[in-house]
Amino acid sequence: MKRYAEAQIGLGKHELACPAMDGCSATFSHKQRQKFLDDGLTKAIDRLETEAVLNIANVADLTTCPFCPYAAEYPEIVKGGDTDFYCQRPGCLEVSCRLCKRVSHQPKTCQGATKDKGKSARKNIEEAMSDAMIRKCNKCTYASYRVKIFRL
């Protein structure tokens, strides 16, 4: 049953129906699921169920935290308005961008934050390549370039 639940979660389903092949449509209650699911699987199914219920409720201007299951009503984003989402769930309390669903990057735009993130990744790669090519003396920190000799 645990593997069956993992497969259902992987498919994005929160209802655990009877796995019998004879067409049984019975489902497991929350109390019954507790007997064979661990805490991680229970949380995953609960989150999927919460998302499904919120989608069915069709609440206007409902925004969810990208880092936890917390949801709240926020007004529509207007040009030049606040795009931040302030999670109120204890243990999360993350401030995220409602447009790109990442950690808040105010006052930068989503595109500006993405460009800056790309630069830092590029810089890290360049530094790693430099470290691989430059040898430093442990005593005096004199740097000399590593020369690779290839033998044919």
Q: Which pLDDT does position 152 carry in this prediction? A: 47
Lowest mean pLDDT among 32-36, 114-118, 148-152: 148-152
**Per-residue buried b or exposed e for 70-102, using 16+ beta carbons within 10 Å of the residue's own CB:** bbeeeeeeeeeeebebebeeeeeebebbbebee
Distance, CA of 144 to CA of 146 (rounded, Å)? 6
Distance, CA of 118 to CA of 134 (rounded, Å)? 24
Q: Which pLDDT does position 18 carry in this prediction? A: 82
Residues in the chain: 152
Q: Is 151 exposed, middle or buried (0-12, 13-18, 19+ CB in 10 A)?
A: exposed
Whether pTM > 0.85 for this model: the answer is no
pLDDT surpassing 80 at residue 43: yes
**Pick from 143, 142, 125, 126: which is nearest to 134 by CA?**
143
Mean pLDDT of 33-51: 84
**Percent of the chain with pLDDT strictly greater than 70:** 79
> Alpha carbon 106 to chain centroid distance?
19
Residues 6+ apart with CB under 8 A from 50: 69, 71
Distance, CA of 87 to CA of 105 (rounded, Å)? 15
